Structure formats: structure tokens, C-alpha cells
Amino acid sequence: METNYVLLSFVIVPLLGFLLSLIFSSKNEFSLSRIAIYTTFFQFIIVVGFILYWITLGTPYINIKETVLFKNNEYEFYIDFFFDKITAVYLFTGSFVTLLITRYSRYYMHLEDGYKRFFNTILFFYLGYNWTVISGNFETLFIGWEILGISSFLLIAFYRERYLPVRNAVKVFSIYRIGDIGLLAAMWASHHLWHENITFLKLSNYHLVHEHLMAHSDIGLFIGLSILTAAVAKSAQFPYSSWLPRAMEGPTPSSAIFYGSLSVHFGVFILLRTFPFWEQQFMVRIIIGLTGLITAFISFFITRVQFTIKTQIAYASITQIGLMFIEVALGWHTIALIHFAGNAFLRTYQLLVSPSVVSYLIRDQFYHFVPVSKTVNNGIKNKFRNTIYTLSLKEWYMDYFMSNVFFKSLKGVGKYLDFLTPKNLLFYFIPLYTIGVYFYLNESSLPYFLKEYLPEFIALSGLLMVLKAFSERNFPRLAWLLVLFNHYCVALAVSFNEKFELQETLLYLSGVSVSGLIGFLVIHAIRKKEPQQSDLNMYYGYVQKYPKQALVVLLCSLGLMGFPITPSFIGEDLIFSHIQERQYFLGLFAALSFIIGGIAIIRIYARLFLGPYCKPTSSNPLKSS
């Protein structure tokens, strides 16, 4: 039973540290850094102690069902913790690096605006890290996953008064959300495969997995690829690699801990974690290995042309992670784990000493310079070399693809709903929704074909609304409401399924409605105060003028996107468990609308509150800085 408490303490300690760090004033550097150092130090001691104890036990698998958060006849949402070799390595590496980084930052961040914010976010991240690492089922893991996403966003946008960090933070957050689709889909499909929230422990039962997969090989493939999507996005693999160098916007230690070492290795983690599940699917293993190979190949070339130190380290790290993917696919787990820890330490150190590169390399150049002769010949070799060079300089079009093709086409869809304005929205929405509710109440009178397609239709309209919210340029309130209404659409769509209870709908809608409403009112108030300057065409940086409102809207945004601070989070999972196996379109629409809704919401928050303040009265940063 003690192990129960020890495992729990791995998340309780960072949580307490995080909560405590919220109390102190930003002027109180001493206490803030002390809390962070004590938290990470204490955690490090328990981690090391426990790992040693666990080794004396003979490195068993430990699985502990902590608490049940929600339960009805056929569905149970519970927090589950799991400890094995993978957990041990990730826990150790994480706690060690974080301990060093917090001590480093204590001096490094001295006198910086946002000293408090920095330590708050680091501790919040640390909570997410530990939570994810010790999670024992998909639901628990998803909570940690979301915390990682948000803390990443906050740390990249740490210098929120500048344009580029904010833009890049939104960019990275968007790609993270794409990864989340994978996780949501994997969760949904595995509900149907196992008819329960299966623990990772059970997955390691070879025969059980084998038996199920024999019956549902297509679902097996689907889950495998979904997991890969999540892993690829989180670990900046092909074709998402371009986010990692763009994430290097925060203070150097935060870049080192997030993007150099810990956060970026979560793709490898989730693959290792779910390995028993896809181990028997040759196809999945091939695809994972290939993804790793392609990434390693491409980023190898991109690394070679980087002329900035941090992007060079970023791409070098991506190359290694690509190799780790191959190792995992081959089943070489111990090697992958050693590779992970080594790479994490190496890149952390390289990033932390990156400013030294100037003096070091200039000195090196001073003493060892040999001029390179650039021969011009028109041979095919030359052409090939220059082509590779140009291609690598353009990052093999990965960034171009993400922003100019992928997201742009999503925005293109939203443009079809440009006739909507905040004023007329309700005129469209209320009648439509009323009809929907009417059908729901009189379900029996519905013709069969309608009944068959109605849920999909409603979910699709929800998705369209979210796309409109995502592409909206003028009315933040409209975009905000559209995301809120989408939740109502999804709830309604799923309600058509027989076993869905009203209580579950209420659970789901409670959180989003409250945060949606509060957020709407705050944005409305700001719109009234700044009628000329509160559209979504640019960044307005109102956090400088309205810091309190910004915090409220941030919290509401989290609530509205189904972040685990409101009951909606459980509701979201419930909803998915009710989407039936054959309703993959409904599942797709719902998942997409959650994900894009999240991006739309963070975009509203970023545009209104972050970035250079629109009416500066003192020194203000240049957009390109």
C-alpha cells in the first residue's frame, strides 16, 4: 500500500509546489525560487529512493488504481498510475534535469519581469511531466498531455510583449493539438476495442492483446496510427518538425528543459508505453520506423545548414529522436531509453552553454581557420548539393506546408460562414438548435434515414462553426460563441445515441457553459472599452492594460477547450465513449471540432491579450525583434 502513496507523491509534490508558488508576490524572488528548488529537490530524493527500492524488489510492474472520478453502469473514469522501467528512466531524467534547471534559473532569471510566471509555469510543466510519466491509462495520460501543451504555450509566449514569441506559441500549440487528435482517436477506438478504460498494464498481456487484435485488426491499425500521430506531433517528427526550432523563444533554460530535453521526448515515451499494443502489428512498426527514418534523414540535412545555434541543436535533437523511433519500432527498448536520457542531457547542456559558442568558435576560428575554397563547377554534383542546400534552408517545406497548406485550407472552409456576425448568430443558431432538440425529444417520430445521419449532420455543423471561429478576423465574441455552441452541437449529436443520459450531458456542458459565459462577458466588456481595437486582425497585447481580465480569459479558455480544470473534461471523454464504433464520421467531426476549437480559443486569447501592446506610451518592441 505504501507504494500507492509514493506514486501519488510524484504528482502531489509538484502540485503542492505549483500551488505554493502561486501565493508569493512576483517581487519575492527568494521564496519563489526556493519553493521550486525544494520541490524539485525533494522530488528527486523520492524518485531516486523509490527507484532503488524498486530495484531491490526486482523491478516489478506496479499498477495502482488511484481514484474513480466518475462511474455509471458501463463507464468508469479513473486515475491510474503505473510504474515500470520506462517510468523509472523518465522520472529520473526529468527530476534530475528539472532540479538543475531550477537552480540555474534562480540566478539566471534574477530581476526579470515575469520571474514568478516563469517558476509557476516550470512547476506546472513539472506536474504535467510527472503526471504523464506515471499515468497508467489513456485517460490519465491525456490529463498530463494537456498540461504539457498549455505550459508549453505559456513558456514559448513568455515574452508576451513581443510578436514572434506569441505567434510561434500559437503555432506550436496548434501542432500539439493535432497530436491530441491522435490521442483522442486512440482513446475512442480503444474504448470500443476493450470496452473499458484499459490500463497500460493490461496491454502488456500478450495473449489478451493478440486475441483482441485477431478479431479487430483494422481497429488495431487505426489505434496504432493514432498513437503515432500523437507521438509525431509531440516529438517534432516529419512532417511537423518545424515547430521545434520555432519554440526556442523563451529564456534559454526553459528552452533547454522543454525543447532540448524533456517535452520533446514524449513522442518516444508514448510509443514505448503503448508498444505491447502495436508490437504484433507489423504494418504499424514499419510505419513508425519509416517515420523515424525519414525524419532523421531530412533533419540531418536541415541541421547542417542552420546558422543559429539553437535551431542547430533543435534539428540535431530531432535527428536523434528519429533514430529513437526506429529503435522503438525494432523493439530495442533499453537502447532507446539510454538514447533518450543521453540525448536529453546532451542537448540540455548544449543549449545552456549556447551563448558561449560565440567566444568559443571565434577563438577556434582565430587559431585554426582554414579558408574553404568554393569551387564553382557546373557538374551534376554541384546541382545536387545546391538543391539539397536550398531545400534544407527552406526546411524541406515543412513549415510552409503546415501554415500555408494545412491551416490555410482549414481557414478556407471557415470562410463559407462569413455571413455570420455576433448580431445575427443567435438568429441562425437558436432555430436550428431548437429543431435539433425537437428531433431529439421526438426521436421516435423521426424517419430512419434522418435518424441515421442526423448526429453526423449536427456534429458537422458544429465543426463548421468551429472552423469559422478559427478563421474569424473581425469578431472575437462571435468566434468565442461559436466554439461554445459547438459543444452544444456535439452534446446534442451524441444524445441521439440510446444510452446517453441527461446527467452526462449536464456534466459535459456545465464546465464549458460557465467558462464560456464568463469569458464572453469579459471579452464583451473589453470590446466596449476599446471599440476600435479589438478585432482578430492583429495582436493587441491587452495583458498590459487588463492583466486581471487576461487571467480570467485564460482560465475560461482552458475551461472552454475542455482542459481538466472543469467537469467538462470527464464529460468530453464520456461523449467519446458514446460515439459508436461505426460512427467514425461522428467521431472524426467531434474530435476535429474539439481540437480546432482549442486552437481557435487560444488564438482569440493570444490576439487580444498577447503581443506588442497596441497603444504604447513607452518603449515597445519592434515586430521583427
Partner 1 sequence: MLKKSSQEKITCFDLEKTLHELKHYLPSQAPLKDFVHHNTLHAFQHEFFHKGLHKASKLFGYQTYLTIEEYRNLFIQKKIDERVLDRILLSKKGGNKEEWKEKGLNKNYDSHIIQRVGKFRELWKKKYKINLDKYVHPTLFRLLGSYLDQGISIDGFPINKQGFLNSVLELHNSSIIKLFTSQRVNQLIKDKAVSLQELLKMVVGKEEFFEYYLFDQQFAHPGWSGMAAVLDDNEYLLLDKRNITLKDFITLELLLEIDVLDNKFGETWKPLALSVEEDNLNLFSKIEYDELYDILSMWQEAYEWSFFDFVLKGLQVKQDRLKTQPTFQAVFCIDDRECSFRRYIEKNEPKCETLSTAGFFNVAFYFQPEHGKFYTKLCPAPQFPSYLIKEYEASKRHTKDVHFNKNTHGFLGGFISSPTMGFWSMFKLAKSILFPTQTEALISSFKHMDRNGKLSIEANALQKENNLQLGFAKEEMADRVEGLLKGIGLVNDFAPLVYIIGHGASSVNNTHYAGYDCGACCGRAGSVNARVAAFMANHKEVRDLLKLRGIEISVNTQFVGGLHDTTRDEIEFYDEEELNEENKILHSKNKITFEKSLSENAKERARRFLLVNNKSNTKKTHEEVKLRSLSLFEPRPEWNHATNSLCIIGKRENSKHLFLDRRAFLNSYDYSIDKDGTILLGILNAVAPVCGGINLEYYFSRVDNYRLGAGTKLPHNVMGLLGVANGMDGDLRTGLPKQMINIHDPLRLLITVEHFPQEVLRIIKINQATYEWFKNEWIFLVVIQPDNKSLFVFKNEEFEPYLPLADEIKKVENTQKMFEGNAENLPICLIN
Residues in 81-100 at the binding interface with partner 1, rule: CB under 8 A: 96, 100
Q: Which of 23, 68, 362, 405 binds partner 1 (CB under 8 A)?
A: 362
Question: Strand (E) positions, 526-566?
Answer: none
How far apart, in whole angstroms, are the C-alpha atoms of residue 507 and residue 562? 12
Only one of the segments 44-52, 104-112, 464-472, 502-510 lies at the binding site for partner 1 (rule: CB under 8 A); that segment is 104-112
Contact, 202 vs 613, CB < 8 A? Answer: no
| Least spacing, CB of residue 395 vs partner 1, in Å | 9
H or E, element range at 82: strand 76-83
Contact, 375 vs 142, CB < 8 A? Answer: no
Only one of the segments 80-88, 196-204, 363-371, 505-513 lies at the binding site for partner 1 (rule: CB under 8 A); that segment is 363-371
| Least spacing, CB of residue 305 vs partner 1, in Å | 5
The reply on whether position 334 binds partner 1 by CB under 8 A is no
In sequence order, the β-bridge partners of residue 135 are 81
| Least spacing, CB of residue 106 vs partner 1, in Å | 8
Q: Which of 121, 174, 354, 461 binds partner 1 (CB under 8 A)?
A: 354
The reply on whether position 344 binds partner 1 by CB under 8 A is yes
Complete DSSP assignment for 386-413: HHHHHHHHTGGGHHHIIIIIIHHHHHHH
Output the CA–CA distances (angstroms, integers) from residue 232 to 228, 239, 342, 510, in the order listed: 6, 8, 20, 33
Only one of the segments 109-117, 130-138, 208-216, 489-497 lies at the binding site for partner 1 (rule: CB under 8 A); that segment is 109-117
Only one of the segments 36-44, 69-77, 194-202, 374-382 lies at the binding site for partner 1 (rule: CB under 8 A); that segment is 374-382
The reply on whether position 282 binds partner 1 by CB under 8 A is no
Q: Which is nearer to partner 1, 580 or 620 (CB)?
A: 620
The reply on whether position 383 binds partner 1 by CB under 8 A is yes
Residues in 385-414 at the binding interface with partner 1, rule: CB under 8 A: 385-387, 389-394
Non-local (6+) Cβ contacts of 154 within 8 A are 117, 121, 124, 169
Q: Which of 197, 306, 515, 568 binds partner 1 (CB under 8 A)?
A: 306
| Least spacing, CB of residue 290 vs partner 1, in Å | 16
The reply on whether position 372 binds partner 1 by CB under 8 A is yes
The reply on whether position 300 binds partner 1 by CB under 8 A is yes
Please, is 313 exposed, middle or buried when counting C-beta atoms within 10 Å of its C-beta (0-12, 13-18, 19+)?
buried
| Least spacing, CB of residue 326 vs partner 1, in Å | 10
| Least spacing, CB of residue 42 vs partner 1, in Å | 17
Contact, 171 vs 247, CB < 8 A? Answer: no
The reply on whether position 38 binds partner 1 by CB under 8 A is no
Q: Which of 358, 405, 430, 435 binds partner 1 (CB under 8 A)?
A: 358
Non-local (6+) Cβ contacts of 151 within 8 A are 121, 124, 125, 128
| Least spacing, CB of residue 45 vs partner 1, in Å | 15
The reply on whether position 311 binds partner 1 by CB under 8 A is yes
Q: Which of 25, 67, 73, 378 binds partner 1 (CB under 8 A)?
A: 378
Give the binding-site size for partner 1 (rule: CB under 8 A). 101
Only one of the segments 198-206, 310-318, 518-526, 573-581 lies at the binding site for partner 1 (rule: CB under 8 A); that segment is 310-318
The reply on whether position 255 binds partner 1 by CB under 8 A is yes
Q: Which is nearer to partner 1, 495 or 544 (CB)?
A: 544
Q: Which of 282, 366, 419, 448 binds partner 1 (CB under 8 A)?
A: 366
How far apart, in whole angstroms, are the C-alpha atoms of residue 595 and residue 154? 18
Non-local (6+) Cβ contacts of 296 within 8 A are 319, 320, 322, 323, 326
Q: Which is nearer to partner 1, 1 or 111 (CB)?
A: 111
The reply on whether position 415 binds partner 1 by CB under 8 A is no
How far apart, in whole angstroms, are the C-alpha atoms of residue 163 and residue 612? 6
How far apart, in whole angstroms, are the C-alpha atoms of residue 562 and residue 331? 35
The reply on whether position 104 binds partner 1 by CB under 8 A is yes
DSSP 8-state secondary structure symbol assigned to residue 175: H
Please, is 507 exposed, middle or buried when counting C-beta atoms within 10 Å of its C-beta (0-12, 13-18, 19+)?
buried
The residue type at 538: M
Torsion of CA 502, 504, 510, 511, to 10 degrees: -160
Contact, 265 vs 171, CB < 8 A? Answer: no
The reply on whether position 338 binds partner 1 by CB under 8 A is yes
Q: In Å, how far from its chain's centre is CA 371?
A: 45
How far apart, in whole angstroms, are the C-alpha atoms of residue 199 and residue 208? 12
| Least spacing, CB of residue 431 vs partner 1, in Å | 33
Q: Which of 205, 308, 424, 445 binds partner 1 (CB under 8 A)?
A: 308
The reply on whether position 619 binds partner 1 by CB under 8 A is yes
CA-based radius of gyration for the chain: 25
| Least spacing, CB of residue 484 vs partner 1, in Å | 28
The reply on whether position 319 binds partner 1 by CB under 8 A is yes
Torsion of CA 571, 512, 174, 134, to 10 degrees: -40
Q: Which of 25, 215, 282, 376 binds partner 1 (CB under 8 A)?
A: 376
Non-local (6+) Cβ contacts of 250 within 8 A are 155, 156, 158, 159, 165, 258
Q: Which is nearer to partner 1, 171 or 578 (CB)?
A: 171
Q: Which is nearer to partner 1, 359 or 444 (CB)?
A: 359
Only one of the segments 212-220, 378-386, 570-578, 584-592 lies at the binding site for partner 1 (rule: CB under 8 A); that segment is 378-386
Q: Which is nearer to partner 1, 304 or 415 (CB)?
A: 304
Q: Which of 71, 210, 363, 499 binds partner 1 (CB under 8 A)?
A: 363
Q: Which is nearer to partner 1, 122 or 284 (CB)?
A: 122
| Least spacing, CB of residue 233 vs partner 1, in Å | 19
| Least spacing, CB of residue 471 vs partner 1, in Å | 13
From 276, 285, 141, 278, select the one nearest 205 (Cα to Cα): 276
Residues in 195-254 at the binding interface with partner 1, rule: CB under 8 A: 245-246, 248-253
Query: Cα angle vertex 611, ends 605, 615, to 5°?
Result: 110
The reply on whether position 359 binds partner 1 by CB under 8 A is yes
Non-local (6+) Cβ contacts of 326 within 8 A are 289, 292, 293, 296
| 3-state secondary structure (DSSP) of residue 64 | strand
Q: Which is nearer to partner 1, 207 or 368 (CB)?
A: 368
The reply on whether position 625 binds partner 1 by CB under 8 A is yes
How far apart, in whole angstroms, are the C-alpha atoms of residue 580 and residue 582? 6
